[in-house]
Structure 1
Amino acid sequence: MTRVLLILLVFFVQHASSQTKVGGVVVDEEGEPVSFANVLFKGSSEGTITNDNGRFYMESENSHAALLVSFIGYETKEIPLNAKVNYDMKVVLMESSEQLNEVVVYVGKTDKKNNPAIDILKKIWSKKRNNGVHMFKQYQYDKYEKVEFDLNTIDSALMKSKVFKGLEFVFKDLDTSRITGKTYLPIFLNETFSKVYGNNEMALEKEDVKGSKNSGFNNNQAIIAFVADLYNDYDIYDNYLKFFDKSFTSPLSKTGVDTYNYVLSDSAFIDNKWCYNIVYYPRRKNELTFKGNFWVNDTTYAVKNINLAVTKSANINWVKEIYIEQEFDVVNDSVFLLTRDYMLSDFSFNKKEKSKGVYGKRTTVYGGYKFNEPKPKEFYKAKTDPFDPLVLDKEDAFWEANRLESLNKDERGIYKLLDTLKTVPKFKTYYNMVSILASGYVEIDKWNLDLGDVYSVFGYNEAEGVRVRAGARTYFGQNDPWRLQGYIAYGFGDDKFKYGISGKWLVDKKSRFIVSAGKRRDVEQLGVSLTSTTDVLGRSIASSSVFTVGSNDRLSTIDLSTFNMEVEPLRNVRLRVGGSYRTLGSALPEAFSLDYIDPSAPSGISSEIDQFELSTNIIYTPGKRTIGNGVERKDVNDDYSTLFLTYSNGIKNFMDSDFDYKKIQFSYTQPWQLGGFGRLLSTVEMGKTFGEVPLGLLNAIPGNQTFFSVYNTFSNLDFYEFVTDTYVSSHFEHNFNGRIFSRIPIIKKWNLREIVGLRGVWGTLSDENKALSAPANIQLMAPKDKIYWEYSVGVGNIFKILRIDFNFRGNYLDNPGARSFGVTGSFGFYF
Structure 2
Amino acid sequence: MVYDPDGHGIASDIDGRFEVMAARPVEWLELHCLGYRVRSIPVKQAVPPGELVVRLTPAPVQIGDVVIQPSESPALRVVRGTVARRGRYSPDMQPGYSFIAYSKLTLSGEEKMEDFRLDAPLALAGQLLVSETLVKHRYAGGRHCDSIMVARTSGLKNRALPLRPSSFQSLNFLADEVHILGARYVSPLSERGLRIYRYHVQDTVVSLQGDTIYTIAFSPRRPFSTIGLTGALYISVWDFAPRVAMAWGRGDEESASYGFEVRQQYNAYGDSVWFADGLRCVVRVPDSALRIDVETHLRDVQLGREANLPVWDVADMAETGANPMGDSLLRNYRATPLTRADTATYRVVDSLGQEAGIDRVVSLLSPLQDGLLPLGPLQIDLAQLLDFNSAEGVRVGLGVGSNTRRFQRVQVGGYGAYGFRDKHWKYGGHVNLKLHGASECYLKFGYSHDLARLGESSLYKQGPELLMEIYMNRVDYTSTASVAFGGRIHGRLQYWLAGRWDNVYNASGLGYPTLRPDGFLQGDRDDYQLVRGTAMVRWAPQSYLQLDGRGISELRPGDFSLELGFEVGAMPRHLAERYYRLQGQLSHTASWLERGKLHSRLGWGFTVGHYPLARGFFSQGGGGSWISIMAFHAFATAPWGYYYHDAQAEGHWLYDGRPWLALPVSKNWRPGLAVAANAGWGQQWHNVMRADGHRYPSMQKGFYEVGMGIVGLLGEILSGGESCLLCYYRVGPYMSGDWRQNITLVFTLAKTLD
TM-score over 0.5 for the alignment?
Answer: yes
* 1:5 aligned partner: none
Counterpart check, 1:489 vs 2:380 = no
* 1:90 aligned partner: none
TM-score by length of 2: 0.74
1:498 positional shift: 1.8
> In structure 1, what is the Cα distance between the partners aligned to 2:320 and 2:203?
47
Q: Indicate conservation of the 8 Å contact 1:660/1:692, yes or no.
A: yes
Q: Indicate conservation of the 8 Å contact 1:464/1:494, yes or no.
A: yes
Counterpart check, 1:128 vs 2:86 = yes
3-state SS of paired residue (2:688): helix
> In structure 1, what is the Cα distance between the partners aligned to 2:67 and 2:283?
34
User: Which residue of 583, 587, 601 maps to 1:683?
Assistant: 601
Pairs within 5 Å for 1:704-783: 711=628, 713-714=630-631, 717=632, 726-738=647-659, 741=661, 750=670, 752=672, 754-764=674-684, 766=686, 768=688
Q: Indicate conservation of the 8 Å contact 2:560/2:589, yes or no.
A: yes
> In structure 2, what is the Cα distance between the partners aligned to 1:742 and 1:531?
44
> In structure 2, what is the Cα distance between the partners aligned to 1:680 and 1:563?
36
Q: How many residues align?
A: 678
> In structure 2, what is the Cα distance between the partners aligned to 1:315 and 1:390?
35
Pairs within 5 Å for 1:125-204: 125-131=83-89, 140-146=98-104, 148=105, 150=107, 152=109, 154-155=111-112, 159-160=114-115, 164=116, 168-169=118-119, 175=125, 185-187=127-129, 189-194=131-136, 196=138
Counterpart check, 1:674 vs 2:592 = yes
3-state SS of paired residue (1:252): coil
Counterpart check, 1:650 vs 2:569 = yes
Q: Indicate conservation of the 8 Å contact 1:189/1:414, yes or no.
A: no
- CA change 1:369–1:101 in 2 (3 A) is farther
User: Which residue of 386, 397, 404 maps to 1:458?
Assistant: 386
1:321 positional shift: 2.2
Q: Indicate conservation of the 8 Å contact 1:721/1:781, yes or no.
A: no
Letter in 1 for 2:674: E
- CA change 1:471–1:325 in 2 (3 A) is same
* 1:255 aligned partner: 192
Q: Indicate conservation of the 8 Å contact 1:668/1:685, yes or no.
A: yes
* 1:516 aligned partner: 444
Q: Indicate conservation of the 8 Å contact 1:594/1:608, yes or no.
A: no
Q: Indicate conservation of the 8 Å contact 2:219/2:231, yes or no.
A: yes
Pairs within 5 Å for 1:562-601: 562-589=482-509, 593-594=511-512
> In structure 1, what is the Cα distance between the partners aligned to 2:562 and 2:748?
26
* 2:711 aligned partner: 796
Q: Indicate conservation of the 8 Å contact 1:764/1:782, yes or no.
A: no
Pairs within 5 Å for 1:364-763: 364-370=296-302, 378-380=307-309, 386-387=315-316, 395-412=326-343, 415-416=346-347, 419-423=350-354, 435=366, 438-444=369-375, 446-447=376-377, 449-452=378-381, 454-461=382-389, 463-477=391-405, 480-526=408-454, 532-533=459-460, 540-542=465-467, 545=470, 553-589=473-509, 593-594=511-512, 605-625=524-544, 639=557, 641-653=560-572, 660-694=578-612, 696-699=613-616, 711=628, 713-714=630-631, 717=632, 726-738=647-659, 741=661, 750=670, 752=672, 754-763=674-683
Q: Indicate conservation of the 8 Å contact 1:561/1:581, yes or no.
A: yes
> In structure 2, what is the Cα distance between the partners aligned to 1:389 and 1:794?
45
- CA change 1:554–1:310 in 2 (3 A) is same
> In structure 2, what is the Cα distance between the partners aligned to 1:254 and 1:743?
31
> In structure 2, what is the Cα distance between the partners aligned to 1:526 and 1:728?
20
> In structure 1, what is the Cα distance between the partners aligned to 2:327 and 2:144?
26
Q: Indicate conservation of the 8 Å contact 1:609/1:658, yes or no.
A: no
Q: Indicate conservation of the 8 Å contact 1:518/1:563, yes or no.
A: yes
Letter in 1 for 2:562: L
> In structure 2, what is the Cα distance between the partners aligned to 1:391 and 1:154?
34
> In structure 2, what is the Cα distance between the partners aligned to 1:663 and 1:134?
42
Deviations 1:583-641 (A, max 9, x none): 2234454xx55489xxxxxxx9443231101111001234444679x999897876554
> In structure 2, what is the Cα distance between the partners aligned to 1:357 and 1:620?
47
Counterpart check, 1:784 vs 2:699 = yes
1:645 positional shift: 1.3
> In structure 2, what is the Cα distance between the partners aligned to 1:413 and 1:711?
48
Structure of higher RCO (CA pairs closer than 8 Å, 6+ residues apart): 1
Pairs within 5 Å for 1:25-424: 114-131=72-89, 140-146=98-104, 148=105, 150=107, 152=109, 154-155=111-112, 159-160=114-115, 164=116, 168-169=118-119, 175=125, 185-187=127-129, 189-194=131-136, 196=138, 207=145, 209=147, 211-215=149-153, 230-231=167-168, 233-243=170-180, 246-272=183-209, 273-284=211-222, 286-310=225-249, 317-318=255-256, 320-329=258-267, 337-346=275-284, 354-356=286-288, 361-370=293-302, 378-380=307-309, 386-387=315-316, 395-412=326-343, 415-416=346-347, 419-423=350-354
Q: Indicate conservation of the 8 Å contact 1:584/1:609, yes or no.
A: yes
List runs of 5+ in structure 2 lacking aligned partners: 1-14, 17-30, 35-48, 515-522, 639-645, 716-721
Letter in 1 for 2:316: F
3-state SS of paired residue (1:130): helix
RMSD: 5.0
3-state SS of paired residue (1:499): strand
Q: Indicate conservation of the 8 Å contact 1:473/1:484, yes or no.
A: yes
Q: Indicate conservation of the 8 Å contact 1:723/1:781, yes or no.
A: no
Q: Indicate conservation of the 8 Å contact 1:513/1:566, yes or no.
A: yes
Letter in 2 for 1:290: L
Q: Indicate conservation of the 8 Å contact 2:169/2:262, yes or no.
A: no
| Identity between Structure 1 and Structure 2 (%) | 14
Q: Indicate conservation of the 8 Å contact 1:294/1:307, yes or no.
A: yes
